[in-house]
Structure 1
């Protein structure tokens, strides 16, 4: 609030209203309404005004310390503890620790101001924004391909929401592959990668985020995901970005597709994933003709498939299980029995590779050879239900009996059943 001659503007306005009330220009009730105070307080101000004039309306707390002022010793002690023990703590957490461990009861805002003044905390408004400097494009086509999945209502109200897997070249900005899938899973990326490689060949590297499909959530990071393992076998490098801005090219393309692709599919009347995947090639060609740029190098570094690269085998789920002494192993709720042959007996106690393709077909392999086997389904374990004798009939009705069937039975059958149950219960008690 500004001051005029040692008096604040608020006090000056108050003096004008009280002066008008003292002259009889306005009533006490009107003055109270304008000042937003009670009429009793207006009369009190009139007495001060008549005695001391405008200076009598000045707050008598002016120049005096606040009643809620923090004691200097308490502030000094709190800052000393924060500096010694909680220098890397935020104000909220440091305030909690001071209250619990040192019995110092300060508000978090008070401690925040103390820490800011002492240089122990930088407020958010004063922090420098994190910079994401642009990265130069790769010179060759196929040297780096950014991949990402975008969950959206691609068919608007004509179909359910689904995920679009996008493959864009870093050097030219060309869309190299679009694939619609129900969700962003390893199987969907296997299918999209297979179509990409069959069409363009093997790129040098894929650039993706840190989703569980690409990077193992384990802290050590030593465990490879299925997608990592497949790319290693194809000699394709997988780079995981540390932030969304690092792969901004595919992120910006997702926004463009959510506008342009959705409207074009509306005009074409496409409302399902199968039709969209079959139509996408025409859209990719039109889009690249209009928006792709020329790479700095005319070289295309996509590599053709090697004669030993079996995509159906590589882009599948690989697991291993140890072969038991009776030539069996368990996987996925199934019991696999290898045929009793000398080469199978030689593998007892060793790991057997289990390959499951995208269609669910499973093969057992050892040293690159398919092992003939038969498959049995394991019985599902049923956990016992622990109930007392008072609630047994209710649990049985709820879990196993058909209530509609019981309701359709005649009254005589129900009575006979109840009588028999009572008789059996009496016999068990005896």
Structure 2
């Protein structure tokens, strides 16, 4: 008997001898009174073996066979699934291999094989996360991430994306060669066409979002001269969208964390689809966005949306003049 079973045997013995009540035994063993009397019956019938679990030494019916565990381990070590975290690998096994196991089982197989995790568990947040906005469309965070999205199959390029602060839903995304104004025009057209005009846009201080002449002299301020806007800023102004420019990466943490997740997952998803060019990446992008939103998006606090429909007199094609010379 192990320590736990030995304690149970002694407590049930005291119950049988009348030294303690059933309620006291239940409290000592952290069991219900009903469970205690079941144990008492088994001890009276079987002696000390009555407290030993009946599955001791038996292989669980749902346990993986040695061959299946080895197959999972080989897949984990293969180039096909390299750099997968435990949760993503469990999802991919079900999707592509027809093997349904939990992330904890993946973790156990990996640990038994002395394979280190892809990354250490995240430390406690130094910055307290800002509370989400209550309605979808109140605040959209936008940013770009230059990364080896296709690994050695292609040089680095940028993913430009927009995320709704209230839901965590990706509401616009495109792969571009570089982080230019054109990419942000594309995701804004996607957003407005599919959802509507948001109340606020949150970006960084990139020159795409601010004019180099934005800082005015005292004389200009006193004269009431308007602050010069970038091409992107002018488009937002025409749409009536407020533009907030963050001063630190932590201020737009929602979109920063989004890119961490996408770099972790989409590199592998693009590899599994054998994507080799930016055009091919953009072709599968709607599928990737849809899968991400199904798994990670949350319901907003308020059901009513803050998006505003595009005015009949407004034309996105005129507001967002695409820079056709930029790829």
Same fold, judged at TM 0.5 (above): yes
Q: Which runs of 5+ in 2 are unaligned?
A: 1-125, 217-226
Q: Are positions 1:146 and 2:141 aligned together? A: yes
Structure of greater Rg: 1
Structure with more strand by fraction = 1
Q: Are positions 1:179 and 2:136 aligned together? A: no
Q: State the alpha-carbon separation in 2 of the partners of residues 195 and 219 from structure 1.
A: 28
DSSP 3-state at the match of 2:294? helix
1:216 aligned residue: 211
Q: State the alpha-carbon separation in 2 of the partners of residues 236 and 183 from structure 1.
A: 25
Q: Displacement of 1:193 after TM fit?
A: 1.5
User: Where do 1:307-346 residues align within 5 Å?
Assistant: 307-316=312-321
1:306 aligned residue: 311
User: Where do 1:124-163 residues align within 5 Å?
Assistant: 132-163=127-158
1:68 aligned residue: none
Distance 1:209 1:200, change over 3 A: same
Size of the alignment, in residue pairs?
190
Supply the RMSD in Å over aligned alpha carbons.
1.6
State the TM-score, normalizing by the size of structure 1.
0.43
Q: State the alpha-carbon separation in 1 of the partners of residues 143 and 166 from structure 2.
A: 17
1:231 aligned residue: 236
1:245 aligned residue: 250
Q: State the alpha-carbon separation in 2 of the partners of residues 247 and 359 from structure 1.
A: 29
DSSP 3-state at the match of 1:266? helix
Q: State the alpha-carbon separation in 1 of the partners of residues 184 and 293 from structure 2.
A: 22
User: Where do 1:273-292 residues align within 5 Å?
Assistant: 273-292=278-297
1:261 aligned residue: 266
Q: Displacement of 1:162 after TM fit?
A: 0.6
Q: Displacement of 1:285 after TM fit?
A: 1.5
2:323 aligned residue: 358
Q: Displacement of 1:215 after TM fit?
A: 1.6
Give deviations 1:183-239, integer Å, cap 9, x for gaps. 111122112222222222211111100110112233615221000000111111111
Q: State the alpha-carbon separation in 2 of the partners of residues 202 and 275 from structure 1.
A: 29
Which of residues 185, 188, 191 is equivalent to 2:186?
191
DSSP 3-state at the match of 1:239? strand
Q: Displacement of 1:137 after TM fit?
A: 0.8
State the TM-score, normalizing by the size of structure 2.
0.55
Q: State the alpha-carbon separation in 2 of the partners of residues 263 and 132 from structure 1.
A: 29
Q: State the alpha-carbon separation in 2 of the partners of residues 177 and 210 from structure 1.
A: 20
Q: State the alpha-carbon separation in 2 of the partners of residues 181 and 298 from structure 1.
A: 34
Q: State the alpha-carbon separation in 1 of the partners of residues 304 and 181 from structure 2.
A: 31
Q: Which runs of 5+ in 1 are unaligned?
A: 1-130, 317-356, 361-430
Q: Displacement of 1:132 after TM fit?
A: 4.2
DSSP 3-state at the match of 2:171? strand
Query: Which runs of at least 4 in structure 1 moved beyond 6 Å after TM superposition?
Result: none
